[in-house]
Amino acid sequence: MKKTFTILTIVLFSCASIFAQGSSESAKADETITLEFMQWWEPEMAPGVMEAICSEYEAANPGIKIKRISKPYSEVQSQVTIGAASGTLSDVLGCDPTWIYNLVKQDAVQPLDEFMSADNYDESQLASISVLNGKKYLINVENFIYPLFYNTDMFEEAGISEVPKTHSEFISAAEKLTDTSKNQYGWDISLSLQNPTGIQNDIMSLVWASDGSGVPEPNNEDVAKVFNLVKTMNDKGLLVPGFMTAQEQDKVEHFVNNRCAMMVDSLAHINMIRERNADLNFDIALPPVADDYSGPHILDMAAWGITISKSSEHPQEAWDFVKYIMSPEINARIADSVNAFPGNINGDPNWVKEDALNQKAFALYKDNGVRNEFQGAPEANNLMRLMSEQLQAMLNGKQTVSQALENTSDAWAKVYAK
């Protein structure tokens, strides 16, 4: 017993001395403020760019250290949910605008209004700010548009000289482009339930293209037209098999490997497509619109947003870092790294001047409207999942288009009623 007591005493003293040392070290470290910055951007950017941006900030602001927590998108999404629940979110947060509604609901992020007015911040330089309950919570750092990518070699081989502009032309082109003996299909979509953004980028992008709307009420003529289009394409065997569990990267992989002739995808993937298959000849165009539509085109837009955690102990320093990220030069550097359009309209990205395809992308962005109705919607990913489930049931022949829309509408109503 004596021995046990002696051992316990030694252990306790050791622990006490370790903690005492720790506290003196933390006292020294108090002079430096460490800002945690969690995002999924760094893994998607060119190597070293984000590190350089943060290092330059540290050099210009002695006493501030940026601790980058860079993880893949899905992991950041999970971490954000956990961090918001436990009050341990990073000071500065890379945030998809589709997550912001729930973060505000959980009181996990700070309104930016006070910081902006205290600094007389020029809001007119920002392309988009998410406003909820009358307060500004999130700034779009980079915007990505989703045009139609098409394989020009396959088009030439199929004798198609013009990019399909309407749903009917789209079906007709897909029929000509599909050759199952070559494992070649007209169109590819990704309806995986793991990350159901295929609903936003493959399905709703076509609703928005004709200036349609589907959120919060999907049971309407605009969405019905697109559901009918997908059903026709599926019934005719024009979609790449396996799309019900395919993810976005599978779709890109199929395009790169000449398995599909057309896909709606992010401009951010242009470099990746070129890297994966340097011989692939492709171009971009506006996604098809409904047959009877003649108004302006609207492109699907996704964004990287930035916000400040409510649990941050250094909100002012966090805001200063946000301003730095949103400055025209830094914003354009990030944009150059991922083929995005800067959230600061004064940003002048170089990538749009690099070649004809990039110039065309910039022209599409400038000349057409952009929309994403899931940004700021409650449980946006859940809404997409619920629609995907109904769409899959419809494509499996378990229900009609109108039943799928009705069921989606009922399921969404429950989310909005929470």
Residues that bind another protein (CB under 8 A): 1, 4, 77-78, 81, 84-85, 102, 105-107, 180, 183, 191-196, 240-246, 250, 254, 259, 379, 381-382, 385, 388-389, 392-393, 396, 398, 415
At residue 173, φ and ψ (nearest 5 deg) are -65, -40
Q: Report the nearest approach of another protein to the CB of residue 381 (Å).
A: 5
Q: Report the nearest approach of another protein to the CB of residue 241 (Å).
A: 4
Q: Report the nearest approach of another protein to the CB of residue 176 (Å).
A: 20
Cβ closest to another protein, residue 71 vs residue 314? 71
Q: Report the nearest approach of another protein to the CB of residue 194 (Å).
A: 3
What sign does the CA torsion over 70, 72, 77, 79 have? Answer: negative
Asked if 193 contacts 389 with a C-beta cutoff of 8 angstroms, the reply is yes
Query: What are the angstrom distances between the C-alpha of 61 and each of 55, 307, 315?
Result: 10, 20, 16
Cβ closest to another protein, residue 102 vs residue 140? 102
Cβ closest to another protein, residue 177 vs residue 326? 177
CA distance 243 to 199: 12
Cβ closest to another protein, residue 48 vs residue 87? 87
Cβ closest to another protein, residue 177 vs residue 364? 177
Two tokens at 109? 């992020």
Asked if 256 contacts 277 with a C-beta cutoff of 8 angstroms, the reply is yes
Q: Report the nearest approach of another protein to the CB of residue 161 (Å).
A: 28
Let me know how long the chain is.
Answer: 418
* Cα first-last separation, the chain: 59
Cβ closest to another protein, residue 107 vs residue 410? 107
Cβ closest to another protein, residue 239 vs residue 289? 239
Closest to 325 in 3D by CA, of 43, 33, 68: 68
Cβ closest to another protein, residue 286 vs residue 393? 393
Q: Report the nearest approach of another protein to the CB of residue 321 (Å).
A: 27
Q: Report the nearest approach of another protein to the CB of residue 356 (Å).
A: 31
Q: Report the nearest approach of another protein to the CB of residue 318 (Å).
A: 23
